[in-house]
Structure 1
Amino acid sequence: MSTRKITIDALIDAPVESVWKDYTTPADITQWNFASDDWCCPSAEVDLRVGGGYRARMEARDGSFGFDLEAVYEEVEPHNALTMVMSDGRRARTTFESAGGKTHVTTTFDAEDQNAIDMQRDGWQAILNNFKRHVEAKPGRS
């Protein structure tokens, strides 16, 4: 397994409490957890505690391909940080930093060995950008 780490980030125009909620609530996860419009996330499960499980179903909208992303939470610090260990042993740590009414979200994850680093970075960044759009589009937010 690769020991390379990849970091992505976004500045979201919403308070950290709202960003945290939208990042960890299954009904919200299904609205943003995909990299492009030809994919979807039809289901998500979250047991938000150390040792709790995370599962998100990712599918091509045309039904041609799908997979489950499964992980166990290793760190849960509400409104601050989450670390997940994916089923293949790779880790992903996401931090939430309040920045004057906005929230800076940063994810650092272990690269996998099957796809190019740039492809992995671009895919994860696209999902985070989709998350940003989802949060900011909610009523009462900028």
Structure 2
Amino acid sequence: MTTAPLLTFDLDRTYPAPPERVWAAWTRADLLERWVLPDPDWRLSSCEVDAREGGGYRLSFGPRPEGDAYTEKATFSVFEPVRRLVLDVLTEGEDMAERSRCTVLFLPVEGGTRLELTVEGLSGVTTIEHLRVGWQWCLDGIAAQLGAAA
């Protein structure tokens, strides 16, 4: 019996903000909720963060008006402040249940922070494309949030 390989993708962005500010965007609920759902037709109905190793975040989101069709639960399996996060993520909703592992590196560079994101363990090509688009929106949302907070 042959099983399909689990799929991976990488994204990166450079932000004109110090690593501490980019880190905070991932580990503070009041900042995470500003960028994690950039689609204006959807609503984030809850956002909780427990910023420590073994902690994580929990989100409820979906189409307006309710915004609760999906949940995402992430556990911070590695929590190295202002350096690295490794999140074990379960996203569930009306038509999906997907597990993934996300590694986020916060690298100081001249004039800001380079964020490198690796998402691995995805089950199919359709899933990888949906999540890649979603993460690209999120990384763009971080840029907007960092600009608004400046």
Match of 2:93 in 1: none
Pair 1:109 & 2:112 matched: no
| TM superposition shift of 1:57 | 1.6
1:5 to 5, 8, 26: 8
The 8 Å contact of residues 19 and 108 in structure 2, kept in 1 or not, is answered as: yes
The 8 Å contact of residues 35 and 124 in structure 1, kept in 2 or not, is answered as: no
Greater strand proportion: 2
Pair 1:133 & 2:144 matched: yes
Match of 1:96 in 2: 106
Pair 1:83 & 2:49 matched: no
Judged with a 3 Å threshold, the aligned counterparts in structure 2 of structure 1 residues 119 and 90 are, in CA distance, closer, same or farther, namely: closer
Judged with a 3 Å threshold, the aligned counterparts in structure 2 of structure 1 residues 41 and 112 are, in CA distance, closer, same or farther, namely: farther
The 8 Å contact of residues 51 and 74 in structure 1, kept in 2 or not, is answered as: yes
Q: Which has the higher contact order (CA 8 A, sep 6+)?
A: 1
Deviates more, 1:32-41 or 1:90-99: 32-41
Paired with 2:71 and 2:106, the residues of 1 have a C-alpha distance of: 25
Q: What per-residue deviation string (whole Å, max 9, x for no partner) do you get for residues 30-81 of structure 1?
A: 1111142212323211112221132112222233762110021110010111
Aligned length: 139
Under a length normalisation based on structure 1, what TM-score does the superposition of the two structures give?
A: 0.85
Other structure's SS at 1:90 match:
strand
Paired with 1:72 and 1:116, the residues of 2 have a C-alpha distance of: 20
Pair 1:59 & 2:62 matched: yes
Paired with 1:124 and 1:112, the residues of 2 have a C-alpha distance of: 16
Structure 2: runs of 5+ lacking an equivalent: 91-97
- Cα RMSD (Å) of the superposition? 2.1
Paired with 1:90 and 1:115, the residues of 2 have a C-alpha distance of: 14
Which contiguous aligned blocks of 4+ residues in structure 1 show a shift greater than 4 angstroms? none
Under a length normalisation based on structure 2, what TM-score does the superposition of the two structures give?
A: 0.81
Paired with 1:61 and 1:9, the residues of 2 have a C-alpha distance of: 30
Match of 1:44 in 2: 47
Structure 1: runs of 5+ lacking an equivalent: none
The 8 Å contact of residues 42 and 64 in structure 2, kept in 1 or not, is answered as: yes
Match of 1:73 in 2: 76
Paired with 1:3 and 1:83, the residues of 2 have a C-alpha distance of: 18
Paired with 1:64 and 1:53, the residues of 2 have a C-alpha distance of: 21
